[in-house]
Amino acid sequence: MRTRIAIKTHALLEHYFPERRVFLKSDSDTRFIRLRPGTQLLGLAGSAFLVSWAIIATAIILMDSIGSGNFREQAKRDQRTYQARLNELSAQRDLRAEEALAAQDRFNAALTQISVMQSELLASETRRRELETGIEVIQSTLRDTMKDRQKARLKLAELEGSLENGEAGSLRADADQAPVDFLAQALARTAAERDKVVVDAQDALLQADEMAQEIALMRDQNDAIFRQLEEAMSVSVAPLDKMFRSAGMPTDRILATVRRGYSGQGGPMTPLSFTTRGEELSPDTLRANRLLSQMDRLNLYRIAAEKAPFANPVKNAFRFTSQFGYRRDPKTGGRRMHKGVDFAAGMGTPLYATADGVVIHAGWSSGYGRLVKIQHEFGIETRYAHMSKLRVKVGQRVSRGQHIGDMGASGRVTGVHLHYEVRVGGKAVNPMIYIKAANDVF
């Protein structure tokens, strides 16, 4: 059976692949190579395999090229979408910055209005005290006038009784006595004085009524002013208190520190006192003192806010490239602490101080590159690293919003950006705590 199958298979191969010989001739010899049917089939199969492999490999390469092109296009589309999103976020941030500046302007205008209203309140309170003193004087004068009028009436009654009892005849007889004309003139003067006293008393009563109405009107005006001031204080003080507490700053200790170092014109606001006789203060005076206490607290908050880093070091368009916390080190592959936040923008972007303070370092510092350190109140220090140019020097006192340098790529960096740190008591804290706390208020 095997022989028949082998014979048929050999015959079939002989039919399609007859035996061939390839002659190789040289100058002195002739040789040939015999190509059997099996050898030809094997060669054909190998050639077919190579051609098929080439076709498949080419198809794979073409498909991969097409797929790579699609991936690149998709990556470009994603990049454009991401860039558009970044631009939108930058525009929103600029809008929030403008709103914060507008809110700051409104806050300053409110402070100015509060100062004006406080002056009006003090003036009206002084005027009310003067009116009350004037009413007391008028009432005292009126009482004296009424007594004088009563005495004049008694004297007139005595004179009239004397005339009726016949004393007038004895006066005529006696040359040393006053004549009747003199008595008539005395009576006329007494009556005129009586009438004048009555008119003065009536005028005094009318004036007292007018003053009482004016005092009532002034009390209503004072009450309206008090209400407006109380509402303004509630709107102004509460957000500032929340801002400091959100930043983890103890408000009572901070305000005490600011009060001890206060150097403003006139000093802190002191309570009102309109009496020197040891009397209890009136409700309006107590109310005014409460408002003055709140105004003093608001003023101290305003001073403290200038001394703490409640601001953004970059005012131009930027994007956050690295947050505060642990992140992967590209060189070692491990995790290390990133002690600040990174702001990315163009080379030379202006950088600004986030609070009042004193420059304690301005120069090169290993991985930080060109570095500026500013010492603030309350044990707070801010750092601005990787600058391209420094615009302050050690010992210089700077104000919030002052231009201190330009963004760059000095030190250990992978691109142009600002590395911004906030340290409290030498320990690094998240700067976004202060920035977000200020954004929630301003």
* Residue 32 structure tokens: 């040939």
Each residue's pLDDT tens digit, 256-279: 776 666 654 444 444 444 444 455
Q: Burial, 145: exposed, middle or buried (Cβ in 10 Å; 0-12, 13-18, 19+)?
A: middle
Structure tokens at 149: 């009028």
Return mean pLDDT, the chain.
75
Rounded to an integer, the average pLDDT of 371-380 is: 90
Asked if 40 contacts 47 with a C-beta cutoff of 8 angstroms, the reply is no
Q: Are 388 and 396 in contact (CB under 8 A)?
A: no
Residues 219-254: tens digit of each pLDDT: 777 777 766 666 666 555 666 666 666 656 666 676
Q: Residue length, the chain?
A: 442
How is residue 8 written in tokens? Answer: 């048929």
Q: Using DSSP, state whether 422 is helix, strand or coil.
A: strand
DSSP β-bridge partners for residue 375: 358, 381
> What is the helix, strand, coil percentage profile of the chain, to 5?
60, 15, 20
Structure tokens at 405: 């340098």
HSE, CB side, 13 Å, CA atoms: give it for residue 3: 0
Please tell me which of 87-101, 143-157, 182-196, 237-251 the model is most confident about, judged by mean pLDDT: 87-101
Predicted structure pTM score:
0.46
More confident residue, 157 or 385: 385
Tokens standing for 182?
A: 């003199």
Asked if 379 and 347 count as a contact pair (C-beta separation under 8 A), the reply is no
Is the pLDDT at 22 greater than 80? The verdict is no
Q: Show Cβ contacts of residue 20 under 8 Å, excluding neighbours closer than 6 positions.
A: 34, 35, 40
- Most confident range, picked from 324-338, 368-382, 428-442: 368-382
3-state secondary structure 59-93: HHHHHHHHHHHHHHHHHHHHHHHHHHHHHHHHHHH
Q: What is residue 206's predicted lDDT score, i.e. its pLDDT?
A: 76
